[in-house]
Structure 1
């Protein structure tokens, strides 16, 4: 009475494994695309940063940084996320930063100053940023070429 049961005699077991090879292929293609396009996405102002050894700033990945740059001629630039700006006056920069900080109070403010710009120019910029509502200001530097 083997054949009188309710189950068909040659039923296949369900497959409980997922084939992940196609997902790995897609991931590798995306990785190559991002590696090729990432250098093209960097934009900004040409600034020769002073070189120094320091610990990296601990940043919150969810918070967008406000980067203020000062070039060799003392011109100010504002970068928020991927958006850069044309050169602007210090008073206009303060107004823009104040607007941004009023909407996003937890944004961090970073200063990128050319190594050839006068010290007083960077100090005036930091005073204006503090007046605009920046509670803490970080300085961006380059790592020295010969790290000994």
Structure 2
């Protein structure tokens, strides 16, 4: 007598097909590569050149008040950072940030063609909002070779 052939049970296959995930990751990578330069756009100003030491890097993002060539003021917080702000709105937003994070560094980024009075006015507004000190942003001078 011969024994009947045994049926072997197939085990279920427990492997994950990762090819679709790789496709999704590549698409996301392309999207991030395209959108990353757009995220760093802001108000275009031509900073004055000065030979100064850079500030030490801090963990907190600084509060930056930008004054463009026409004297309009912009703040890098909240919605519409690309829209000019009135003095009262600017002070209210800056005060809110400084109340929530008192150690936030405060900087003024002004175009080199802006009259000195407009820069001083911006600094006074920030001090009224509660900034203990205000720094000025500059570009390093060009070295002639």
For normalisation by structure 1, the TM-score amounts to 0.69
Cα distance in structure 2, aligned partners of 1:99 and 1:78 = 12
Contact 1:70 1:122 in 2 (8 A): yes
Indicate yes or no: 2:41 matched with 1:43: yes
Contact 2:91 2:129 (8 Å CA) reproduced: yes
Report the Cα offset of residue 40 of structure 1: 3.5
Q: Which of 53, 56, 69 is the equivalent residue of 1:55?
A: 53
**Structure 1 unaligned runs (5+)?**
1-28
CA gap 1:120/1:146 in 2 versus in 1, 3 angstroms: same
1:103 corresponds in structure 2 to 100
Q: Does structure 2 conserve the Cα–Cα contact (< 8 Å) formed by 1:65 and 1:81?
A: no
Cα distance, 1:146–1:59 mapped onto 2, change above 3 Å? same
Q: What CA distance in whole angstroms lies between the structure 2 residues aligned with 1:43 and 1:82?
A: 14
- Runs of 5+ in structure 2 lacking a partner? 1-25
| Counterpart-to-counterpart distance in 2, 1:119 and 1:130 | 17
| Equivalent residue, structure 2, for 1:71 | 68
Asked if the contact 2:43–2:82 (Cα under 8 Å) also holds between the matched residues in 1, the reply is no
* Alpha-carbon distance in structure 2 between the residues aligned to 1:38 and 1:145: 28
2:125 maps to which of 117, 125, 128: 128
Compared CA separation, residues 89 and 83, structure 1 to 2 (3 A): closer
Structure 1 position 89 matched with structure 2 position 86: yes
Cα pair distance change 1:35/1:142, threshold 3 Å: farther
- Aligned residue pairs: how many? 117
3-state SS of 1:110 partner? strand
Q: Determine if the alignment matches structure 1 residue 142 to structure 2 residue 139.
A: yes
Aligned: 1:112 with 2:113: no
Q: Which structure 1 residue ranges, 4+ long, deviate > 4 Å from structure 2?
A: 32-38
